[in-house]
Chains A and B, each alone.
Chain A
Amino acid sequence: MNTPTPRFDAREASKWFFRHGHTGWLGLRFTDQGENWVELELPWREDLIGDASQHVLASGPIISLMDMASGMAIWQTRGTFQPVATLDLRVDYQRPARERASVKGRVECYRITRSAAFVRGIAYDDDPSDPVAHVAGCFMTIGADPREENPALNGAPGNG
C-alpha cells in the first residue's frame, strides 16, 4: 500500500481505544479480526450483572460491546479510521449468557457506502453457533461538518 497513513488495524487500535472512557471501564479486549470483521471480548465482572439473583451479564454492556465492535469493523473494512455515528442498533437476545461467562462480540460490516455503513453480528459466550444475541446496525460517517449540533456526531463508538 502506498498511502501515507497505515491501514487501520483493530488490534493496534485497541491498545489505545480501551485505555480509558466507557470501553476502558468495561475492560473490553481485542480478540480477533478479519478483512471486514472484528471480534472483541467483554470480560465477566460481578458488578455488571443485570439481575441480582443471577450471575449473568446485563444486556447493557453487551450493547456497548457490539457498538464498539461495529465501529471497529467499519474502520477495518474501510481501511481507515473515520469517525462514525451510530444511527440505529438492534439487539435480539437469543438466550442469557452463561453464569460468570465473558461474552465475545463479532461484528462484520457487510455494506459500506461513502456516508453509510451496515453491520451485523453475534454475541456469544462459548460457541459462535449458539449466540447470546444477534445484532444489526446502521452507522453514518461523520464528515467535516464543523457544527457542534451535527446530529450525526452522536454515539460515535468510543474513540476517546
Chain B
Amino acid sequence: MADAPHQLPPYARSLGVVLTGQYEGEMPVLTVDFGPMVEGRPQHFHGGATAGLLENAGYAALRTALIAAGRDPKLKPINITVQYLAAGKSQASFAVGRITRLGRRNANITVEAWQTDRARPIATAVMNILMV
C-alpha cells in the first residue's frame, strides 16, 4: 500500500488508480484496471479516464521530486494538454511522469501512458503546475 508521500487523492482512489510499486528512474508507475468506471466506447477507455490516470501520474512524479528536494509547496494546476495516440483497450493501463523542469514556482511535467508495450504509448500529457 502507498506510503504517505505517494498518497493518491480521493479522485484517483475512486477511479481505481493505484501505485504499482514499480518505478521508472525514481518516478512511481501508476495503473488502473479496465472496468465500467473507465469505459467510454464499448470495451475502450474513455479519454477522460485516460487523462485522469496521466494527471495523477504527473502529480505523483512531482511530489516525488519535491520530497527529494525537501520542498512541500501547495500545488495548483496551470494547464494540461493531452495527446491521444492509440485506443485504450479493455486491459490495464499504466502511466509514469517525468519532470522536464522543476523551477522555483513552476514545474513542467511530461507523462506517458501505455498498456502492454511500454514502447508504444497510448497517450501523453504535458502539465504545468504552479507551486506556491
Contact = CB atoms under 8 A, between A and B. Distances in A.
Interface of A: 20-26, 46-52, 57-61, 63-65, 67-68, 83, 85-93, 96, 149-151, 153-160
B11 A50 contact: yes
B50 A90 contact: no
21 contacts: A26-B48, A47-B11, A47-B13, A49-B9, A50-B11, A58-B12, A58-B55, A61-B52, A85-B84, A86-B47, A86-B84, A88-B83, A91-B79, A93-B77, A154-B85, A154-B87, A154-B88, A157-B46, A157-B47, A158-B41, A159-B41
B84 A61 contact: no
B86 A63 contact: no
Given A154-B44, A160-B40, 14 more contacts: A22-B49, A26-B48, A47-B14, A49-B11, A58-B52, A59-B77, A63-B48, A63-B82, A86-B84, A88-B84, A91-B80, A93-B77, A153-B87, A160-B44
Contacts of B114: none
Q: What bracket does the count of chain B residues touching chain A fall in?
A: 35 or more
Interface in B1-33: 7, 9-15
Contact of A20 (B36, B50, B78, B83): B36
A93 B50 CA distance: 19
Contacts of B77: 59, 93
B36 A21 contact: yes
B81 interface: yes
**What are the 3 closest A-B residue pairs judged by CB atoms, nearest first?**
A64-B48, A155-B47, A60-B52
Contact of B51 (A57, A63, A96, A151): A63
A159 to B, nearest CB: 5
Contact of A22 (B10, B37, B81): B37
Contacts of B51: 60, 63-64, 67, 89
